[in-house]
């Protein structure tokens, strides 16, 4: 182990790496509950999402561990799962078609990992758009969490209004939210997971949660349950681009952030970047072929780094723990069926994703407004793709009329024109 993962050179040891892996797993294991809860509501069979979530996490994290050798874990990303469900709902298409968009995005990500276009794309898109996209997704999934909890409900006159606090699920959701906030404020490792368990215990004793079992043999996987032809017949090109773009930004930003925290950056560069991005691209492609939304590097990996993790052994431990989780599908299924357990996580993760707003230059209107437009339109239209399109149209336009057109990379002008054409002639959510 020491030689395989260069533990001595990195100033770490097996015990530290194992503890770091356990720490990372506990902070992100909520995804095996939240992801099936969100995607099964969109029509994907629960067992299929459960297997796909764990399979993509294991495969992506193992590649990260053994090839890139970073203490970074991979799993289906938050935000993209909620967007997946909204595409199914707003476009009236089957989940197999939306899985087709994820598969195509994964293939494109794989191909881009071998070229310099990926780097050109990342560098061409300004910080205000990147932060606007992340923050918009944060508001989007927090809004979904509020609706799941019954804290906000539909209203014919005002679109939404405050919910009924006498409803048992809403009461339990609020309790789960506050107990998890307390755990986070106290800096407890695994606060999200522990908060879910505490809420589940209360739900069980209050009769809102029932178990048919805890442990069972893993359900059989379902392969290639996607419809690529439906992607083209329904004109879901913007959805493919949205999945691709957000996955690239989210993954790249998280990987660099965690690597910097661990002191693994070399002269400002990210070594073995191709292998690291390949881990995410493969996980996304495999996940789509089995039945889940795109994967991403998890910022929760930073908790493992804080616990001393410096090598791929940390990620290897995370992958092993995800494998063990395969045998707990009845337990996960029961917890996923009660919105009060998963809704607080969506709300809190939404808050985490707002951090980038502090980095937007709000004093520069031509930078601020496109970010604002993205943040505004994503939750109100229930479409990440629409928010991205609005941002890519308004940013080059604002810069052009402000006399700063030369600051904009030519790629953004191309994308701006494409999005205008798409929104006028081929509208898709």
The residues near 82 (Cβ < 8 Å, ≥ 6 apart) are 38, 140, 141, 144, 346
Domain contains 392: yes
The string of DSSP letters for 210-250 reads: --S-S--PPPPP------HHHHHHTTTHHHHHHHHHHHHHH
User: Whole-angstrom Cα distance, residue 63 to residue 316?
Assistant: 9
- Structural domain includes residue 330: yes
Is there a domain that residue 222 lies in? no
The structural domain count of the chain equals 1
* Token pair recorded at residue 60: 């992506």
| Strand stretches in 188-341, DSSP E | 295-297
* Domain coverage including residue 180: 14-216+234-425
- The answer to the question of residue 229 being in a domain is no
How many other CB atoms sit within 10 Å of the CB of residue 385?
28
Q: What pLDDT shows up at residue 114?
A: 82
Residue 228 in any domain: the answer is no
Q: Is residue 184 assigned to a domain? A: yes
In a domain, 1, yes or no: no
Report if residue 129 sits inside a domain.
yes
DSSP helix, strand, coil percent of the chain (3-state; round to 5): 70, 5, 25
The predicted pLDDT at position 429 comes to 47
- Both tokens of 322, joined, read 């995800």
Calculate Rg over the CA atoms of the chain: 21
The secondary element (H helix, E strand) that includes residue 160 is strand 159-162
> Shortest CA distance to 184 belongs to which of 196, 169, 170, 168?
196
Q: Would you state the pLDDT for residue 123?
A: 76
Mean pLDDT of each 10-residue bin along the chain, 429 residues long? 84 93 92 95 95 97 96 93 91 94 95 81 84 89 92 89 94 96 91 91 94 89 93 92 87 85 80 90 96 93 90 96 95 91 91 89 95 93 87 95 92 91 70
């Amino acid at each position: 182990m020491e030689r395989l993962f260069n533990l001595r050179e990195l100033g770490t040891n097996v015990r530290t790496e194992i503890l770091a892996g356990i720490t990372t797993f506990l902070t992100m294991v909520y995804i095996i509950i939240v992801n099936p809860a969100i995607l099964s509501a969109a029509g994907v069979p629960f067992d299929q999402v459960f297997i796909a979530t764990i399979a993509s996490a294991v495969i992506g994290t193992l590649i990260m561990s053994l090839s890139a050798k970073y203490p970074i874990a991979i799993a289906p990303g938050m935000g993209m799962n909620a967007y997946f469900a909204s595409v199914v709902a707003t476009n009236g298409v089957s989940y197999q078609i939306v899985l087709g968009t994820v598969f195509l995005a994964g293939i494109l990500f794989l191909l881009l990992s071998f070229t310099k276009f990926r780097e050109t794309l990342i560098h061409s898109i300004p910080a205000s758009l990147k932060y606007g996209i992340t923050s918009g997704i944060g508001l989007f999934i927090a809004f979904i969490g509020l609706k799941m909890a019954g804290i906000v409900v539909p209203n014919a006159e005002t679109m939404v209004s405050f919910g009924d606090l006498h409803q048992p699920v809403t009461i339990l959701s609020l309790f789960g939210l506050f107990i998890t906030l307390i755990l986070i404020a106290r800096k407890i490792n695994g606060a999200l997971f522990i908060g879910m368990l505490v809420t589940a215990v209360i739900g069980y004793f209050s009769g809102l949660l029932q178990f048919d079992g805890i442990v069972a043999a893993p359900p059989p996987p379902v392969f290639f349950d996607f419809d690529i032809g439906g992607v083209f017949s329904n004109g879901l090109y913007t959805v493919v681009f949205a999945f691709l773009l957000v996955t690239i930004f989210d993954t790249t930003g998280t990987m660099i952030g965690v690597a910097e925290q661990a002191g693994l950056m070399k002269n400002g560069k990210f070594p073995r970047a191709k292998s690291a991005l390949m881990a995410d691209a493969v996980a996304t492609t495999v996940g789509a072929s089995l039945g889940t939304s795109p994967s991403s590097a998890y910022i929760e990996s930073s908790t493992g780094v804080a616990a001393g993790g410096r090598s791929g052994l940390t990620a290897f431990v995370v992958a092993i723990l995800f494998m063990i989780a395969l045998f707990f599908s009845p337990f996960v299924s029961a917890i996923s069926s009660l919105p009060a357990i998963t809704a607080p996580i969506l709300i809190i993760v939404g808050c985490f994703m707002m951090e980038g707003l502090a980095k937007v230059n709000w004093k520069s209107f031509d930078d601020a407004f496109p970010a604002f437009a993205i943040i505004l339109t994503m939750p109100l239209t229930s479409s990440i793709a629409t928010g991205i399109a609005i941002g890519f149209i308004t940013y080059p336009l604002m810069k052009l009329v402000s006399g700063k057109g030369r600051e904009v990379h030519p790629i953004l002008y191309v994308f701006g024109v494409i999005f205008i054409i798409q929104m006028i002639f081929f509208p898709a959510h």
